[in-house]
Amino acid sequence: MNSKKPQGLFHLLPYLLIGVYFGIVFTKSEVISWFRIQEMFRFQSFHMYGIIGSAVVVALLSVQWIKRTNKRDLDGEVITIPPKEMGSGTRYWMGGTIFGLGWALTGACPGPMFALVGNGITVMTVAILSAVAGTFTYGVLRSKLPH
């Protein structure tokens, strides 16, 4: 019983390290900068497009390799990635547009919001709390929204 808990926490260590790695990459590549997001939406630099584009290419090649070779994860489970349900598609373009409005205003998607707090822009904690409130509001209204 007691021996299980430390092991559980130990399991989390790789995720902590990946997070630290992300925070460094986000900061050093300036994707957490409101200015960079503005530059992207004004089509005035290739920087953000290059980052997102090359991230997708690397992820795409490796995900296809994982799927084709039926790779297993470290726990020995076959890796499965559930497909996203299209439905009417409304949730994707409508939710996506709402997200985009917020992305351009805050200049940060959820990951970078947290990296900014680490960078000392502590006022972003307010944006994070607002984002939690937004997610909560979605949960409340979910059954009434077209999906």
* Minimum distance from residue 9 beta carbon to another protein (Å): 9
Is position 6 an interface residue for another protein (rule: CB under 8 A)?
no
**Closer residue to another protein, CB minimum distance, 6 or 83:** 83
Of these, 4, 5, 68, 84, which contacts another protein (CB under 8 A)? 84
Of these, 7, 59, 70, 144, which contacts another protein (CB under 8 A)? 59
Residue 37, both tokens = 């997001």
- Find where tokens 């089509």 sit: 43
Question: Cα(69)–Cα(60) distance, rounded to whole angstroms?
Answer: 14
- ∠ Cα 118 112 62 (to 5°): 120
Site for another protein in 10-29 (CB under 8 A): 11-12, 14-29
> Residues 35-54: x/- map of binding to another protein (CB under 8 A)?
xxxxxxxx-xxxxxxxxxxx
DSSP string for residues in 64-84: HHHHHTT-B-TTSPBP--PPP
* Minimum distance from residue 105 beta carbon to another protein (Å): 3
> Residues 100-139: x/- map of binding to another protein (CB under 8 A)?
xxxxxxxxxxxx-xxxxxxxxxxxx-xxxxxxxxxxxxxx
Q: How far apart are the first and last CA of the chain?
A: 44
Residue 101, both tokens = 């409005």
Taking the mean position of all CA atoms in its chain, how far away is CA 119? Answer: 18
Is position 1 an interface residue for another protein (rule: CB under 8 A)?
no
| # of chain residues touching another protein (CB under 8 A) | 115
Is position 144 an interface residue for another protein (rule: CB under 8 A)?
no
Residue 45, both tokens = 């630099």
